Amino acid sequence: MQKYRVAKMKYAFGALAQGLFGKPENLKLLANTGEALGFDVMWVNDHIIMPSDIKPNYPYTETGEFNEFGDQGDYLEQLTVLSFLAGTTEKVRLLTSVMVVPYREPIVTAKAIASIDVLSNGRVILGCGAGWMKEEFEALNRPPFNERGSITEEYIKIFKNLWTESSPSFSGKYASYNDVVFAPKPLQKPHPPIWMGGESRPALRRAARVADVWFPIIDNPRNPLDTPQRFADGVNQMKEIAELEGRNPAEIGVSFAINLYDDAREHQTDDGKRRVFTGSPDQIASDISAYKDLGAECLMIGFTIDPNSTNATIEQMHRFADEIRPKVDV
């Protein structure tokens, strides 16, 4: 496996803006705690309307069942939360993770993201995905679910066009406009960084074609990247596709997310080995270093969520900052 020189790993924590964590005082507490502890990025997830009957097709559980913390679909809207966080923080970067790109009309979305980038003094990162929940697509009356990959790519092209061209025009399958004025532009130039999530082969192709950074969730049971070797193989596949698409692979960064994070005990894989990012602080620090050596620039951590209290999340964030990060950032 090729090793890379990453100057310093960045760390991200999440705002699952629902239930207890959808209360403004708790969102503010979480954001301010993360910023004070030196986390670099804060991410917000994305659901708009929750169908009552969802087929078991969720990519990140063994069974395909989706039951995110037992809530009843009370998600705050992602970009609204990002605006709130922009006003309650000063330094932490603000990441959509992921924005299900086909859920929203592209011109209005581009305007909202540009506005938040201006209001946050250039702190937005657009994390993108094509989505997995067919029922939510249908409830939102969006374009066909089976075209979500091509929709995502076209919308990202629209975002870039509106954000960078002085007199934007675009003619596509899903949207068109001609010689419009789009202002203000995002503060970041040429535009906010575009990160692409997903672990499947189509997701790798999307990242290779249109993204600045690929950021998979490594403990996807269908497409696992949960060992350094598997992660390295995924990175190599993405870079090979980038070359075929005529892009310089070195221009595409790599970050990653971990859903199962446990600093209290080890979890075992099916073959009896320790799962990465579980166990002692020394073990988790070693895992981070291994992925950092493979070129990973940012780790998104799925800290423990207790639906009845913010304490577990806040305490685990403190332990990470005090006991694990110093072992990596030496």
The CA distance from 225 to 81, in Å, is 30
Side chain identity at residue 152, one-letter code = T
Q: What pLDDT score was predicted for residue 304?
A: 83
Each residue's pLDDT tens digit, 170-218: 999 999 999 899 999 999 999 999 999 999 999 999 999 999 999 999 9
Smallest CA-to-CA distance from 209 within 167, 238, 188, 229 is with 238
- Mean pLDDT throughout 234-258? 97
* Domain limits, the chain: 10-253
**Residue 68, pLDDT above cutoff 70:** no
The CA distance from 102 to 131, in Å, is 8
Q: Please check whether residue 145 is in contact with residue 134, taking contact to mean a CB–CB distance below 8 angstroms.
A: yes
Each residue's pLDDT tens digit, 99-130: 999 999 999 999 999 999 999 999 999 999 99
As beta bridge partners, residue 67 has: none
- Mean pLDDT throughout 230-256? 97
**Residue 38: which residues within 8 A CB-CB, separation 6 or more?**
321, 325
Side chain identity at residue 303, one-letter code = F
The CA distance from 102 to 147, in Å, is 9
DSSP state string for 260-320: --BSSS--B-TTSPBPTTBS-HHHHHHHHHHHHHTTEEEEEE----BTTBSHHHHHHHHHI
Smallest CA-to-CA distance from 318 within 67, 30, 27 is with 30
Each residue's pLDDT tens digit, 23-43: 999 999 999 999 999 999 999
* Share above pLDDT 90 across residues of the chain, in percent, rounded to a whole number: 83
- Mean pLDDT throughout 78-98? 97
Q: Compute the C-alpha angle 216/93/23, nearest 5°.
A: 95
SS3 167: coil
Smallest CA-to-CA distance from 217 within 60, 20, 39 is with 60
- Helices 78-88 and 106-119 cross at an angle (nearest 10°) of 10
Each residue's pLDDT tens digit, 291-330: 999 999 999 999 988 888 899 999 999 999 999 999 997 6
Question: Which of 184-188, 219-223, 233-237 is predicted least confidently?
Answer: 219-223
Question: How far, in whole angstroms, is CA 296 from its chain's centroid?
Answer: 14
- Specify the fold of 10-253: TIM Barrel (3.20.20)
Question: How far, in whole angstroms, is CA 237 from its chain's centroid?
Answer: 20
pTM: 0.95
- Mean pLDDT throughout 254-258? 97
